Structure formats: C-alpha cells, structure tokens
Amino acid sequence: MSIEFRSVTKRFADETVAVDDFSLLIPSRKTTVLVGSSGCGKTTLLRMINRMVDPSSGVITIDDEDIATVEPVALRRRIGYVMQNSGLLPHRKVVDNVATVPLLNGVPKAEARERALELLDTVGLDRALADRYPSQLSGGQQQRVGVARGLAADPNILLMDEPFGAVDPIVRSELQHELIRLQRELGKTVVFVTHDIDEAFLLGDQVVILEKGAKIAQQGHPREILANPATEFVASFIGADRGKRRLAPVAAAATGDDVLLVDGTGYAAGVISAPGGKLAYSISDKTDQAGDA
Amino acid sequence: MNFFLDALAYIVDPANLTGAKGILPRLGDHLYYSALATGIALVVALPVGLAIGHTGRGRAFVIAISGAARALPTLGLLFFIVLFTGLGLWPLVAVLAILAVPPIIAGAYAGLESVNRQTIDAARAIGMTEWQLLWKVEVPLALPLIIGGIRSAALQVIATATIAGYVGLTGLGRFLIEGLAVRNYTLAIAGAILVAVLALLVDGLLALIQLLVTPRGVSRGVTSTAPRSRARLRRARATP
Ligand SMILES: Nc1ncnc2c1ncn2[C@@H]1O[C@H](COP(=O)(O)OP(=O)(O)OP(=O)(O)O)[C@@H](O)[C@H]1O
Ligand SMILES: [Mg+2]
C-alpha cells in the first residue's frame, strides 16, 4: 500500500496554487509525516489521496494504480480518515459512529457493533462510553473515537489531518504515544499532517518538511534531517538554532514502571527510574546528540 | 363579549355538531382540503428544498419565492383559477398548495444549510455517497427545521382554507360567510374560533413532533447531562 505522487499540481478555482509540482513516494506500512506552516498545502495533499480533492495535473497512485480511475466513494471506504475536530456524526452514539463505514459496506449490524466495541478497546476507550453521544465526550475522547472510526473498516491506509491539534499538551502526548503503540501493532500506511515539528519527529518514519505550495524543503528520517538540515529554512523550522529541545516522557507513568525521557526528536535523553521499576526501555546510543538537553 | 359567549355556546351545543351544516362535517372538510393541499405541496416542495439545501445551488430561487409568496393575493388567485376551471375542489387545493410550497422549501433549505460543514465533509470523506449523506446525516440533523417549515405551511393553509366557502365548497369558512351574509355574528365568530382552535391544535401537534425528532446528542442529549452534572457540582460544593 505505497502511495506515490507524480508531479502533482493543485490549482483551485480562485487560481490559488496550493500544491505545485509535488512528487513523493510514501512507503507502505510506515508513518509519513507532512509538516509545514499553515497554508503550505498539507491538507490539500492529504485530501488528494482519498479524492476529496482532485489534482489539476499529475498522477497519484496507490500500489501503482492511478486513483483517478477509482470511484471516489469506493476509494474512501478503504482509506481511514481522521480529522482535527473528530468530524463525528453528532446524532449518532459513539458505537454507531465507529461502525458507520462497516455498515455502509454491508457488514451485519451485530457484527459491526461488536467490532466497534473491540475498536474502542484498541484505542483505549472504556466501553461504557459506547452509548454516549459525541457531545458528551471530552476532546481527547472524541479524537480517540475518530481514530477508532478511521480503523473500523480495517483500511491499509490511514490519513490523519492534525488529529491531535485541538487537545491540551498532556492529552496530546498521550494520544501520540497511543498512536505509536497502535502503529507498532497494526502497521498501517499512515500519512500524518501536522505543523508541530516535535510531533513530526516523534511519529514519523519519514518526515517531509514543506514550504508554501507544498514545495519539499527536505525529506527523510528524523535522524537525517536533524543531523543535516538541508537549508536555512529547515534549520530554523526544526529549531536546530534553538539549542535546547523539550523533553517528554515516554510510557505514561504506570506505577512501578520507569519513565523514559525523550527529546523532541524522539531520542532518549534519560530515565526517571521508579522505585523497584523495571527498565522498560534501554537508552539508545544516540543520547549523546541530545546531551545538551 | 356577548357575541363571543354566544359563539362558544353555539360550538358546544350538541345540536350544532352534526347535520348537513354541522360543525363536525365542516371541520372534516376543512381538514381534508388542508391535508390534501399540504400533502401535495410536500411532494413538490420537499425534494426541491432538499436539493437546493444539499447542493447549495438555487439559493436565490428560495429567497425569490418566499418573497413572492408573501405578496400572493390568495383569494384573487383562487377566483382567477376558477375562471378557467370552473368551481370544484381542485382549484382550491391548487391555491392552498401554492401557498404552502414556499415555507416548506425555505424550511428544508434552511435546515440543510444549518448542518455543520465539517460534519458533512467528514461524512463524505469516510465514504458516504451523496444520497447517504442526505438521508443519514443532513436530513436527520435538519429535521426540526424541516418540520418547522411544514408547520408554518400547515398553519397558513388551515387559516386560508376558509376561502373554500367562496367557491361552493364547505369547510369552517362557511360559518363565516353564512354568518356575515345574514349578520349573524354569533355564527361568524363561532367559525373564526373553530378555525383558530384547529390551527392551534395542528400547530401544537407539529411542535410536539418537532421536539420528538430533534436528534438526541445534538441539543437535548447535551442538556440532559449538563443539568445533572451541575446538580452534582452544587451538591459537592454544599458539602463542606
Ligand atoms: N477549496 C479551496 N479553494 C481555494 N483555495 C483553497 C481551498 N482549499 C485550500 N485552499 C488554499 O490552498 C492553500 C493550502 O491550503 P491547505 O488547507 O492545504 O493548507 P494547510 O497546509 O493544510 O494549512 P493548515 O495548517 O492551516 O491546515 C491555502 O492558501 C488555502 O487558502
Ligand atoms: Mg490543514
């Protein structure tokens, strides 16, 4: 389920060129993060993958199949989509929201419901919330439901547009690590959009830094980008000039477990050992790079 | 005041209920004309309103016809049609239906227009067809406003159906016409009261339906938990 953009341009009706001659290979079963400042064309790129937006020119393929030849509704049903404000249906209960796509696909009701409940477990939501309406959930819970819905039809591709943009930093960090865990288990082709570079480095196997018009400033593994910012723009965008980077704990502090601290690049910076805790994560040899943190 | 009391007395007198000129048969006719006209208007106007609301195309049309409808001289139109068709049920029903179309279109359009764009976008992005989007998302969320349009249409139709008496039909309007013709104001006022009560009853019924179809989780779902949690908060605060 690799996705490829070949010389894709999107010019909107009002002549705005949101995406200008964009080419990128998005590898299968990895997380690719598109990161860049507001208005640089990230959402437009993402929405071209499920044909919510059609390119003005160029070709997008999924496993070498030109998606312009695929019926949009059929395409969208096999691609999970998670957006910033969850986009849940306000008049349907949580469980029905999660079951929406399988039901559209003709899965029997009882089966779809059972699967939806399992998905609530998967995304770390209490099944007691299944019969609530979205408006009765917190923002973070709504986002989890959004992720569960995105996974419901067991798609190979998951598109996520700033899914954690509207929650507070603590919940965001929780959701990010939940996603890392999920991705380890599920191995989807995830395309994740954010303007938060720390989030990009934390989640991405491949990070693509974009300038206006979706011009690629640099792409690669977080490690490569950090080691060699290609341009002045990248250097200032990743905050290489900031010197110090934030630390964030990995593994929510479950009692008795050690807590690993990583810097914004995803590298281990240290461990807070719990009394009698087990060393859940070993510190990588890359720690020295974050030595100043 | 006297006329009014006499009129009430006329209405509750069992002797006036049945018979050729009785209240019940005329009430039945009045309801029949109104229901027929509103039903026909629904069949015509709902698809138009939903189509405009869903596609967003034709907004100017909605504004134009709601304006025109307000200025429509109903009685004049009725006589005009009767000139061509002769007396009968259908000219009346046609005029009443024409009257009912604009509010129904406007309600359906306003209802769909009020649905959150993000909700619609998300539903489309997860793979709903336009048809599914309309029936599973837009209509359920817009239903209170759609019913609101039907409600004001029905109200106008019931009030206006009194003109049936002018073109050889019956209905509650006959009491008004007959009463005024012989200066029997008691009879005229009885007719007016009956029309008003009928209108209020139908309006109340539709208001109830409107309340019942309000999607849970949209407004009632939220408020139903909010007061509870507020009460809990108050209790928590009260205990030192
Ligand atoms: N439907 C549209 N019609 C016209 N212009 C559009 C449309 N959608 C997006 N644009 C323009 O295209 C450009 C890229 O928009 P896009 O939404 O892809 O940016 P983004 O990177 O997702 O920004 P953000 O981080 O704020 O979400 C912007 O200049 C935007 O105004
Ligand atoms: Mg965006």
Q: A201 near A223, Cβ under 8 Å? A: no
What residue spans define the domains of chain A? Answer: 3-237, 245-292
Ligand 2 centroid distance, CA of A89 (Å): 20
Q: Which pLDDT score, from 0 to 100, does residue A179 have? A: 95
Confidence check: pLDDT of A128 > 90: yes
Ligand 2 centroid distance, CA of A42 (Å): 6
Tell me how far apart the alpha carbons of residues A62 and A225 are, in angstroms, rounded to a whole number: 26
Q: Which pLDDT score, from 0 to 100, does residue B87 have? A: 86
A83 and B125 in contact by Cβ < 8 A? yes
Whether residue A101 lies within 8 A of chain B, CB to CB, comes out as: yes
At B213, which CATH number? 1.10.3720.10
Confidence check: pLDDT of A131 > 90: yes
Ligand 1 centroid distance, CA of A58 (Å): 19
B110: left (phi over 0), alpha (psi -120 to 50) or beta: alpha
* Span B72-120, pLDDT tens digits: 888 888 888 888 888 889 999 999 999 999 999 999 999 999 999 999 9
Confidence check: pLDDT of A284 > 50: no
Q: Which pLDDT score, from 0 to 100, does residue B239 have? A: 42
SS3 of chain A: the string is: CCEEEEEEEEECCCCCEEEEEEEEEECCCCEEEEEECCCCCHHHHHHHHCCCCCCCEEEEEECCEEHHHCCHHHHHHCEEEECCCCCCCCCCCHHHHHHHHHHHCCCCHHHHHHHHHHHHHHCCCCHHHHHCCHHHCCHHHHHHHHHHHHHCCCCCEEEEECCCCCCCHHHHHHHHHHHHHHHHHHCCEEEEEECCHHHHHHHCCEEEEEEHHHEEEEEECHHHHHHCCCCHHHHHHCCHHHCCCCEEEECCCCCCECEEEEECCCCEEEEECCCCCECCCCCCHHHHHHCCC
Q: Which two tokens stand for residue A105?
A: 């696909």
Alpha-carbon separation of residue A276 from A251, A268, A273, A284 (angstroms): 16, 21, 8, 22
CATH superfamily of A3-237: P-loop containing nucleotide triphosphate hydrolases (3.40.50.300)
Q: Which pLDDT score, from 0 to 100, does residue B69 have? A: 76
- The gap from C-alpha B108 to its chain's centroid, in whole angstroms, comes to 13
Q: What share of chain B has pLDDT > 90, as a percent?
A: 68
Confidence check: pLDDT of B149 > 70: yes
Q: Which pLDDT score, from 0 to 100, does residue B66 have? A: 80
- State the nearest Cα–Cα gap between A50 and chain B, in angstroms: 7
Confidence check: pLDDT of A286 > 70: no
Confidence check: pLDDT of B230 > 90: no
Confidence check: pLDDT of B224 > 80: no
* Span B2-32, pLDDT tens digits: 888 999 999 999 999 888 889 999 999 999 9
Average pLDDT, stretch A65-78? 96
* Span A183-238, pLDDT tens digits: 999 999 999 999 999 999 999 999 999 999 999 999 999 999 988 899 999 998 88
* Span B50-66, pLDDT tens digits: 999 999 999 888 888 88
Ligand 1 centroid distance, CA of A24 (Å): 19
Overall residue count recorded for chain A in this entry = 293
Confidence check: pLDDT of A77 > 80: yes
Tell me how far apart the alpha carbons of residues B150 and B67 are, in angstroms, rounded to a whole number: 17
Ligand nearest, relative to CA of residue A52: 1
Confidence check: pLDDT of A273 > 70: no
Q: Which pLDDT score, from 0 to 100, does residue A217 have? A: 96
Ligand 1, atom 4, lies closest to the CA of A12
* Span A224-234, pLDDT tens digits: 998 889 999 99
Confidence band of B235 (pLDDT split at 50, 70, 90): very low
Mean pLDDT of chain B: 87
- Name the one residue in this structure whose structure tokens are 């299944």: A130
Confidence check: pLDDT of B146 > 60: yes
Nearest residue of A to residue B213, measured between CA atoms: A91
Ligand nearest, relative to CA of residue A37: 1
Domain of residue B53, residue span: 2-238
Ligand nearest, relative to CA of residue A47: 1
Confidence check: pLDDT of B143 > 60: yes
Q: Which pLDDT score, from 0 to 100, does residue B82 have? A: 84
Find out whether the beta carbon of A38 lies less than 6 Å from any atom of ligand 1.
yes
How many domains would you assign to chain B? 1
Average pLDDT, stretch A39-44? 96
Q: Which pLDDT score, from 0 to 100, does residue A250 have? A: 60
Find out whether the beta carbon of A214 lies less than 6 Å from any atom of ligand 1.
no
DSSP code for B87: S
Whether residue A74 lies within 8 A of chain B, CB to CB, comes out as: yes
Confidence band of A272 (pLDDT split at 50, 70, 90): low
pTM attached to this predicted model: 0.82
Chains A, B: CB pairs < 8 Å? 73
